[in-house]
Structure 1
Amino acid sequence: MATNAIDQTRRMLSLVTYLRDRPGAAVEEVARAFGITADELISDLNVLPMCGTSFRGGDLLEIESDGEHIWWRNADALGADTAQPLRLAADEATALLVAARAVANLPGLRESDREALQRATAKLEAAAGESAGASSRLSVTFESEGGVFADLDRAIAERRRVWLRYYSPARDRLTEREVDPVRLFTVGRTYLEAWCRLSEDRRTFRLDRVAQIRLLDEAADPPRVEPRDLSAGLVQPSADDPEVVVEVGPGGRWVAEYYPHDSAEELPDGGLRITLRTPDPSSLRRLGLRLGADGRIVSPPELAERARAASREALAAYGE
């Protein structure tokens, strides 16, 4: 299966968590869980031992395989606390600041935790001095899905129902639901296909949007459904669906991550011109409100006007 460097990096990040919790895991079983061949898995395993716990080459991962099973030799040692004082070089400070800002924007993060992280980031910026300037020009999108993947893989293997706290970008809120997992798959990102007990229908969930997960004691009993054909991609909008164009500034680039789209063209100011299709354009009015000064709906004109009217109403309510 063809893959790119980003997909492989995401997979390997998940592999670290997966293998740590499954000493002696069978090669064929791990390959099947990640939707890759045994040869691709062995190729990943040949790279992982070159990775360490420090940007400057600290302890390396000791992962071994006899071709049939996989062992992580020093998982406990790498997780142990050390007494060495923290000293950050410029590149390490930059990486830490970029990651901290990304975590602060994760959906589902408690407000008290978000504020604490922002205070710590401010202190780190002050300590980093000029190094902090470079980090402000960078952004990162990542998936904290390793543990979620492992839990869902277990739920599928044991045929157990799962409780999820899931972020819905279309509604801009977290929902709680019970689902019967069907399969895990990767199309750019990693997804769960499941029967949702809340909507009583088949649903697809992106793993990086799962804020919390809990395996239940109830047995999963999804209706028999034909697996979706994903050869043309996860999102397959109809040619008859209305086209919506949204222009966002640098602060609104997250829209391209959370909303399936046809294209995302770079703009001179660092923003994006995003084109997408949806059978219900009015459902994107909330997006216009969320963007605020970070972007605007360009077309269709009637949707753009409704978004502006909603913004005026919201501002008037604040005034009252």
Structure 2
Amino acid sequence: MLSLVTYLRERPGARVEDVARAFGITEDELISDLDVLPLCGTSFRGGDLLDIDTDGDRIWWRNPGALSAEAAAPLRISADEATALLVAARAVTTLPGLRESDRQALVRATAKLETAAGEAAGASSRLSVTFESEGGVFADVDRAISERRRLWIRYYSPARDELTEREIDPIRLVSVGHTYVEAWCRRSEARRTFRLDRVAEIKVLDEPSAPPEIELRDLSEALVQPAAEDPEVIVEVSPGGRWVAEYYPHDSAEELAEGGLRITLRTPDPASLRRLALRLGRDGRIVAPQDLADSARQAAREALAAYEEAGAAPAEAGTAPRGAVSGGTYDRQEPGR
């Protein structure tokens, strides 16, 4: 937002769409920031308020002369902020996927920051950050994207508890909590996202990457974005299972008696929802399709049988140890729940 102030001061009447694109944010996010900026003083520690307005298409600064010399002064950061920046910068320079030109630019910027930070730079040198073991996979994916080459991977799917071999045409790297590669999967002939820390083995192939022309999706809110042609699944949950509607993209969620929900959702792999049924325990059940509901019941029966064989069956119906099978509880009378 500090950069936004300078940007708008130099571009009176700038278009909303152009400013949003320049800062890599959505137009809604930009408008939200513009609602906050007028409440900030010119020095961001008080002073004259900024009079910035928009008609939805263009952005106007009504009092650009109010910016004082103090507002134009170089940004000052605290010792804690300098330490955090230096630790992060040094960590990023060690990433295997970083292009060499970017690495050198970051090294130069870090050196300047160390000089400006003074004593704080010494404190930051005693701290270090290590990344997850996905670094090597990241490097190969980044290389494949830049060289437009296909990848072969062995990938672990927790929903099916299996390793599969796939050839994929990588499209882009995305970060939503974890790092993923969005790619065209040659096995399923569809767009898929793969979490890097679930890639057991990876090879950059000689074949060129040739994903079909597809529109990039906004993945900032959710990676799982079902398609209209995906199979429909209906799940009914009690009040204790209402969280399903918050975590799973769905078409509808109808209120049921006593606070329950009837949730209709779509998924390219309905079988993966068997684990959801086990996790829900008494708090939910799959209603349709019937074959999926039957398979969920069978999975619950097998889980209960495993408890009994191990001598760990619950003494009372529906009180299996939480977390023993996907964190669920089970009812002997209705094992499909």
Give the TM-score range, shorter chain: 0.3 to 0.5
The two structures have a TM-score, normalised by structure 1, of 0.44
The two structures have a TM-score, normalised by structure 2, of 0.42
**Larger relative contact order (Cα-Cα within 8 Å, sequence gap ≥ 6):** 1
